Amino acid sequence: MSVSRREFLQAAASTSAFVILTPGGPVPLRAGADDAARFKPELLPPVDEVWGWQVRMNKLGPKYTGNEAHRSFVDFLASNLQSTGLEVTRDSFKFPRWNARRSALTVRPTTGAAFEAPVTSYYPYSGQTPAAGVTGELVALTAPATRDFGGAFQPSGDMKGKVAFIEMPVAPPPFAEWYKPYGFYTADTRLPSEVSAVWSIFTPLLTDLKKAGAIGVVLAWTNISDEQAAYQYTPFSRPLQDLPALWVGRDTGARLRKLAGSGARATVTLEADVFQDSPTDTLIATLPGASTDEVIIVNTHTDGPNATEENGGLGILALAKYFSRVPKASRRRSLVFVLTTGHFALAYLPSIHGFIEKHPDTVKKAVGALTVEHLGCREWLDDPATKYAATGRDELTLAITEFDGTAKVMLDALKDTADRRVAVVKPVPPKGPFFGEGGSLSRAGVPTIGYIPIPSYLIAGPPDGCIDRLSKTLMHAQIEAFAKVIHRMDAMSAAELKGVAGTTQLG
């Protein structure tokens, strides 16, 4: 039996208990009206304490996978989880860590003076040059139209000794094609259509350019402001390309487009180091419940370039402190907090998929999972005058889940919280993506909620870490909603979390 979103929301509004709709009428779940009584806000760390952790994290600087800042953050989380009384273990990995030190772009037209072209950022793990850079004729190529993360640029001619110039427009993600909404909180929330999804730009590999003989690449943004383009760490999670590549802004790109193919020469400089066998750790922190036969997984990753990517670990620390203060007899199931490494180095590290492979018994016991990422974000967009600025709104959150039971859990937990711009959605096959660290758990059969705000600055790494774009009260409200989600999951059966009552599957 299929139930429309309108029918679900009407039913939910008409009763104080949380229900599954079946042919025989509403069936109350154990996680009903008394669920509000289970949540004790006074047990949560206060707003300013959590924000203090956030400020401390931000002062470390970008936490690119395995760098000193990232290792310090992981150690901070581990020591605080241990002092809270949780058992903390580590899964350790090694990988070739790439780190950029300096980038620059010099252009020499056939007539007129040479000039330094402003660089907005670099292509991570693209390559490296000597201090003097590499120089070649600037030639234009066309970016592929396909949205294919695994694709490559395909030059039509000989690129030997040349520098490729490629314009890269940002297109609005096709959310309406990707997702079916279960519901929104609040009712006026909608899926976005703005060109703000720098995080989802499909930048191909550089493999074919390297094979064709190119010695460098310049990528140009075309339809976002230079302010938004600045410091974007994109594309991330690529393997080392052995071909240095830089990004430039829209106006610089327009200038270079006119020069490309005219005999102008470009010097690409990207000084970088590769540290082989760099260590990095995933943390697994366990809080036993009344029974250890079933568990709830709460997960995030710990690496990222700024204050929000990734501060999910701070949300997990707050939740661990909260539930450690709840009597063990009131916690039916054990909580397993998984804080993975490698989200920004997926070419070399397994992230959450590695946890699934290394700990199959824990995954088998999991009746539900909650993935928390990118907390506290306020919305920033290019306005019609292409000025990049705050809109005055909270950033939209996608709460992605493939199970009807967990969708209802998320919608109910949001009620009466200050987390008021959330779209609870189901991926539409075959192309609807389950972004973030929750997708692998869902594909493993665990009813999972992937809570993922999607700001335009998500993967930017400016000196201030974007911390001025975050709200400490919103961050705390999101953590409050997470606590309610976990309480509700803990009170429900495994079948209920999947949205099954008897033999009836909703959706």
Among 163-172, 261-270, 299-308, 343-352, where is mean pLDDT lowest?
Answer: 163-172
**Contact assessment for residue 393 and residue 145, using Cβ atoms and an 8 Å cutoff:** no
Does 491 reside within a domain? yes
Q: Is the pLDDT of residue 28 over 50?
A: no
Find how far residue 400's CA is from the centre of its chain.
12
502: confidence class by pLDDT, cuts 50, 70, 90:
very low
What's the total number of domains in the chain?
Answer: 2
Quote the CA–CA distance of 326 and 317 in Å, as a whole number: 15
Asked if residue 143 and residue 56 are part of one domain, the reply reads no
- Comparison of pLDDT for 16 and 428, the residue scoring more: 428
Query: CA angle 292-296-302, nearest 5°?
Result: 120
Question: 358 lies in which domain range?
Answer: 5-13+30-95+279-505
Does 71 reside within a domain? yes
pLDDT for 428 equals 95
Output the CA–CA distances (angstroms, integers) from residue 40 to 44, 323, 369, in the order listed.
8, 10, 21
User: What single-letter amino acid sits at 33?
Assistant: A
pLDDT for 384 equals 65
39: confidence class by pLDDT, cuts 50, 70, 90:
very high
pLDDT for 192 equals 83
Q: Hey, how many other C-beta atoms are within 10 angstroms of the C-beta on 2?
A: 7
Asked if residue 471 and residue 355 are part of one domain, the reply reads yes
193: confidence class by pLDDT, cuts 50, 70, 90:
confident
Quote the CA–CA distance of 81 and 104 in Å, as a whole number: 42
Return the DSSP state at 491: H
pLDDT for 143 equals 85
Asked if residue 261 and residue 300 are part of one domain, the reply reads no
Boundary (domain end) residue, out of 276, 297, 320 = 276
Asked if residue 269 and residue 289 are part of one domain, the reply reads no
44: confidence class by pLDDT, cuts 50, 70, 90:
very high
37: confidence class by pLDDT, cuts 50, 70, 90:
low
Quote the CA–CA distance of 353 and 355 in Å, as a whole number: 5
Does 457 reside within a domain? yes
Tell me the three state secondary structure of residue 381: strand
CATH number of the domain enclosing 241: 3.50.30.30
pLDDT for 174 equals 87
Per the prediction, the chain carries an average pLDDT of 90
Asked if residue 307 and residue 272 are part of one domain, the reply reads no
pLDDT for 238 equals 92
Question: Among residues 54, 50, 49, 67, which one has the least CA distance to residue 469?
Answer: 54
pLDDT for 21 equals 29
Asked if residue 416 and residue 287 are part of one domain, the reply reads yes
Tell me the three state secondary structure of residue 468: helix
pLDDT for 147 equals 61
pLDDT for 149 equals 58
Q: Is the pLDDT of residue 19 over 60?
A: no
pLDDT for 467 equals 98
Does 39 reside within a domain? yes
Q: Is the pLDDT of residue 34 over 60?
A: no
Asked if residue 481 and residue 371 are part of one domain, the reply reads yes
Quote the CA–CA distance of 53 and 55 in Å, as a whole number: 6
Output the CA–CA distances (angstroms, integers) from residue 150 to 65, 144, 354, in the order listed.
21, 12, 21
Tell me the three state secondary structure of residue 154: coil
Does 101 reside within a domain? yes
- Comparison of pLDDT for 21 and 319, the residue scoring more: 319
Among 73-82, 88-97, 431-440, where is mean pLDDT lowest?
Answer: 431-440
Boundary (domain end) residue, out of 236, 258, 276 = 276
Strand 265-287 to 504-505 pairing: unpaired
| Average pLDDT value for residue range 350-374 | 98
Question: Among residues 200, 452, 237, which one has the least CA distance to residue 341?
Answer: 237
pLDDT single digits (tens) 299-356: 999 999 999 999 999 999 999 999 999 999 999 999 999 999 999 999 999 999 999 9
Question: Among residues 250, 259, 268, which one has the least CA distance to residue 116?
Answer: 268
pLDDT for 190 equals 92
Q: Is the pLDDT of residue 476 over 50?
A: yes
Asked if residue 398 and residue 414 are part of one domain, the reply reads yes
pLDDT for 373 equals 98
Q: Is the pLDDT of residue 468 over 50?
A: yes
Q: Is the pLDDT of residue 47 over 70?
A: yes
Boundary (domain end) residue, out of 214, 246, 276 = 276
CATH number of the domain enclosing 483: 3.40.630.10
Quote the CA–CA distance of 493 and 333 in Å, as a whole number: 11
**Contact assessment for residue 131 and residue 271, using Cβ atoms and an 8 Å cutoff:** yes
Quote the CA–CA distance of 479 and 456 in Å, as a whole number: 22
pLDDT for 506 equals 32
pLDDT for 3 equals 37
| Average pLDDT value for residue range 124-145 | 95
Quote the CA–CA distance of 161 and 115 in Å, as a whole number: 21
What is the C-alpha R_g of the chain?
24
pTM (2 decimals)? 0.91
- Comparison of pLDDT for 385 and 409, the residue scoring more: 409
Asked if residue 500 and residue 420 are part of one domain, the reply reads yes
Q: Is the pLDDT of residue 80 over 70?
A: yes
Quote the CA–CA distance of 113 and 398 in Å, as a whole number: 49
**Contact assessment for residue 294 and residue 494, using Cβ atoms and an 8 Å cutoff:** yes
Q: Is the pLDDT of residue 8 over 70?
A: no
Does 19 reside within a domain? no
Does 22 reside within a domain? no
pLDDT for 274 equals 98
Asked if residue 151 and residue 75 are part of one domain, the reply reads no
Does 24 reside within a domain? no
Asked if residue 205 and residue 120 are part of one domain, the reply reads yes
pLDDT single digits (tens) 199-228: 777 888 999 999 999 999 999 999 999 999
Q: Any residues with CB less than 8 A from the CB of 90 and at least 6 apart, and which? A: 78, 281, 282, 283, 284
Q: Any residues with CB less than 8 A from the CB of 480 and at least 6 apart, and which? A: 39, 41, 44, 417, 419
Asked if residue 56 and residue 137 are part of one domain, the reply reads no
Question: Among residues 346, 354, 353, 338, which one has the least CA distance to residue 302?
Answer: 338
pLDDT for 150 equals 59
pLDDT single digits (tens) 374-408: 999 999 999 866 689 999 999 999 999 999 999 99
pLDDT for 385 equals 65
Q: Any residues with CB less than 8 A from the CB of 92 and at least 6 apart, and which? A: 279, 280, 281, 282
173: confidence class by pLDDT, cuts 50, 70, 90:
confident
pLDDT for 146 equals 65
CA atoms within 13 A on the CB side of 166: 27
